[in-house]
Amino acid sequence: MHATQAIKAEFEKVFGDGKKGRVHVIRAPGRVNLIGEHTDYNDGLVFPMAIEPQVIIACRARADGRVRLASTAFPGQVVEFSVEQTIERGEPAWANYFRGVAAELEGAGIPLTGMDALIENTLPVGGGLSSSAAIEVGTGLAFLTLSGVEMDRDRLALICQKAEHEYALVPCGIMDQMIVATGKAGHATQYDCRSGAKQFVKIDPNDLRVVIVNSMVRHELTGGEYAERRRQCEAGVAFFQQQHPGAGIRALRDVTLKQIHEAEGKLDPVVFRRCRHVVSENHRTAEAATALAQGKYERAGQLMVESHRSLRDDYEVSVAELDFLSDEAMKVRGVYGARMTGGGFGGCIVALVQPRAVDALKAHLEKVYPAKFGIKPMAFATTATAGASVVE
Ligand code: GLA
C-alpha cells in the first residue's frame, strides 16, 4: 500500500473514520549534512540536504481546540492537550516536540485549530538524521494547514528551532530545521547561517550518490557536550574580541585563519582547538560547495575527510565507531569522501560515492563493522529530496 494510504488507514483505526472531515497528510524529511559541522551556531556555513527517510503526519481538524496525538512508534498511547490553554512540557517526552511547536506558534501570534494527529517516523531516533527537526517542521505544517495560515518557511524553521530549545531542551543551531523546511529536490543547500543566503548545488544521481551509514550508536545531544562546545566557542569569541578590538568580531565566523594561528599558545589549548575547527570548517564548507558545483568530486571528498579529522581531533565529537566507518569507507574504490555527520557522539557517517561503488561500499562496511564492534550497521543510499510538504 502507498505510504499515504497506509497512514490514513492507521489514522482511522486510532481516531475513527472520515465523516468528521478531511484527513491531511504531511511529509517532513530527515537531513544529512555533507560538510559544515558545528558551524551553524557560530554564524557560519553548512551544506546539508533533505533525505528520503521521513516523518509522516496524518491530521484532521477538531472544532473543540483539543489536540489528540498518537505515534506509530508508541501504539496505544494518545497524548492530549488543548490549544486554548497554556501548553507545558510533560510526559511522554516524544510528544514535547509537538507541544513545543504548538506553543511557539501561538507565542508568535498564530491562532491554532485543534486536531487529531498520527505521526509515523522512518528516521532512526537518535541516529543523527534530525528526526526531531522533521517532527517539528511536520507539526508546524500540520497546524498551519489545518488553521489555514500561510507562513514563510524560514520563519517556520526559526519557530521550530525555538521549540527545540525550550521544549526538548537542546540548544541546537538552525541547520536542521532550516533544511527540513526548505530543502530543494535534487540539490544540497549551502546555507549561510548569518545572512540566510542559500545556494543550491545539484547532486546528479548519474554522477554521484550519497550513502549514509548508521553506526547504531545513539547520540544524545542533551548530554551536555553540545552545550559545552557552544560555551567553548563563546569563550573563543571573547578572546578574539579582546585580542582584536575594533575588528568587528561578533562570532567565530569573523575570525580569520591567520588570527587562529597567532592565538596558538595564548589561548586555552582546548578552546584553541575548538576555534580552529570552526574557522577551518567554514573554509572547507565554502570550498566543498564550489568543488561539487564544478564536478570536482575528488576535491569535495578530500575536504570531507579533512572535516572528519578536525571533528575527531580538534572538536572531539567523534567516537571510535564513526572513525572506523569513515576510514573503512575510504578504502573502497570509487568513494570520494566520508565523514561523520551531525552533532556527533554516535549517529551516522555520510559518504559521497560513484554510483557503481554504492553496493561495494555497503558490502564492505556490513562485513568489517560487525567484525570489529559486534553491531550491524544500517547503510542506505539516498537522493536529495524536497523539504517538508503537504502531500494531501
Ligand atoms: C546538531 C544540531 C545542529 C548542528 C549540528 C552540528 O545536528 O541540531 O544545529 O549544530 O548538530 O553541525
For 186-212, the pLDDT digits (tens) are: 999 999 999 999 999 999 999 999 999
Q: Which three cell numbers stand for residue 92?
A: 511522554
31 lines ligand 1 (CB under 6 A): no
Band of residue 380 on the pLDDT scale cut at 50, 70, 90: very high
Q: Would you say the CB of residue 173 lies under 6 angstroms from ligand 1?
A: yes
Per-residue pLDDT band for 1 (boundaries 50, 70, 90) equals low
Query: Does ligand 1 come within 6 angstroms of the Cβ of 164?
Result: no
Mutate which of 32, 39, 40, 252 for ligand 1? The one with the most ligand atoms within 8 Å of its CB, which is 40
Summarised one tens digit per residue, pLDDT across range 116-126 is 999 999 998 88
Question: Is ligand 1 within 6 A of the CB of residue 48?
Answer: no
What is the whole-number distance in angstroms between the Cα of residue 176 and the centre of ligand 1?
Answer: 7
Provide the grid cell at 163: 521549540
Q: Is the pLDDT of residue 273 over 70?
A: yes
Q: Please report, in angstroms and rounded to a whole number, the separation of the first and last CA atoms in the chain.
A: 16
Q: What is the pLDDT of residue 223?
A: 67
Residues with active-site annotation? 176
Distance from the alpha carbon of residue 342 to the mean position of ligand 1, in angstroms: 6
Q: Tell me, in angstroms, the distance from the centre of ligand 1 to residue 172's CA.
A: 6
- pLDDT attached to residue 124: 86
Residue 18, pLDDT score:
63
Q: Is 169 left (phi over 0), alpha (psi -120 to 50) or beta?
A: left
pLDDT tens digits, one per residue of 62-118: 999 999 999 999 999 999 999 999 999 999 999 999 999 999 999 999 999 999 999
> Looking at residue 3, what is its pLDDT?
81
* Ligand 1 near 236 CB (within 6 A): no
CA distances from 362 to 33, 82, 319, 329, 337 (A): 19, 46, 20, 9, 14
- pLDDT, averaged across the chain: 96
- Distance between Cα 33 and ligand 1 center (Å): 9
Is the peptide bond between 48 and the residue preceding it cis, with omega within 30 degrees of 0? no
Q: Pick the residue whose CA is nearest to atom 5 on ligand 1.
A: 343
Pocket test for ligand 1, best of 129, 175, 231 (most atoms within 8 A of CB): 175
User: Which residues, in sequence order, are bridge partners of residue 66?
Assistant: 82
As a dihedral over the C-alpha atoms of residue 15, residue 18, residue 22, residue 24, rounded to 10 degrees, the angle is 50
pLDDT band with cut points at 50, 70 and 90 for residue 218? confident
Ligand 1 in reach of 176 Cβ (< 6 A): yes
Any residues with CB less than 8 A from the CB of 150 and at least 6 apart, and which?
144
pLDDT of residue 221: 59
Q: Which of 176, 179, 308 to mutate to test the pocket of ligand 1 (most atoms within 8 A of CB)?
A: 176
Q: Is 206 exposed, middle or buried, given 0-12, 13-18 or 19+ CB atoms closer than 10 A?
A: exposed
Residue range 274-282: mean pLDDT, rounded:
98
Going by C-beta distance under 8 Å and a sequence separation of 6 or more, which residues neighbour residue 160? 101, 104, 133, 136, 137, 139, 140, 177, 180, 181
